[in-house]
Amino acid sequence: MVRSIEVTAVLGLGGARSHNVHWTGRIEISLDCFVCRRNGRTTEVQHGDEEGSCSGDGRPGWIARHPAPVRVSAFDSTDLEGSGESGRTVLRAVVDQWWAPFHDAKRDEPALALTARPWVRLHLGYLCPEPLGAGTFSTQTNLGRPHTVGCAQCGEPIATDHETPRIRLLT
């Protein structure tokens, strides 16, 4: 059955000069995976791709990284204008996963449609105006907050991370 998991995130946009901060569509999310029969696997998925990639379990005798029946079915970002430090960028994404009930092959726990300890990492890109160049950063569930992201090229603050991304099961 298809399960849909909604991820929402907000970042403050800072700095005197615009760095064109944008969500790249690359998402890493922890899911319970019926293919490798493991719970809480880090699953990578890119908006626009027809499949994702489950990290599996790298230890001998277990299923290693494998294609995962996961896709991004919605990806909407909105930039809210604001003066000075009050501008924000808001992301709402929906990750669809083909899920079936199973029992974790290593730990004594049943799989859940939304994994027991949800975690997500969302990737962003930016463009530094001077010197011209592209950079990347990410925001994730387990991060000290508030946290200011600086441009790797000019050092200017470009984003402020003060809210933990939210994860919820839609269906």
Q: Which residues bind Zn ion (CB under 5 A)?
A: 33, 35-36, 41, 54, 56, 128, 151, 153-154
Q: Which is nearer to Zn ion, 64 or 143 (CB)?
A: 64
Choose between 27 and 33: whose C-beta lies nearer to Zn ion: 33
CA distance 76 to 61: 40
For the CB of residue 121, give the shortest distance to Zn ion in the complex, in Å. Answer: 17
Taking every pair of Cα atoms in the chain, the longest distance, rounded to a whole number of angstroms, is: 56
Contact 81, 70 (CB under 8 A): no
Q: Judge whether 111 and 102 are in contact, CB under 8 Å.
A: yes
Cα 43 to chain centroid, rounded: 10
State the nearest-atom distance from the C-beta of 164 to Zn ion, in Å. Answer: 25
Q: Which is nearer to Zn ion, 68 or 167 (CB)?
A: 68
Nearer to Zn ion, 76 or 105 (CB): 105
We find the least distance from the C-beta atom of residue 166 to Zn ion, in angstroms, to be 24
Shortest CB 62 distance to Zn ion, Å: 10
CA angle 17, 23, 28 (to 5 degrees): 140
**Cβ neighbours of residue 34 closer than 8 Å, sequence gap 6 or more:** 98, 99, 100, 101, 102, 111
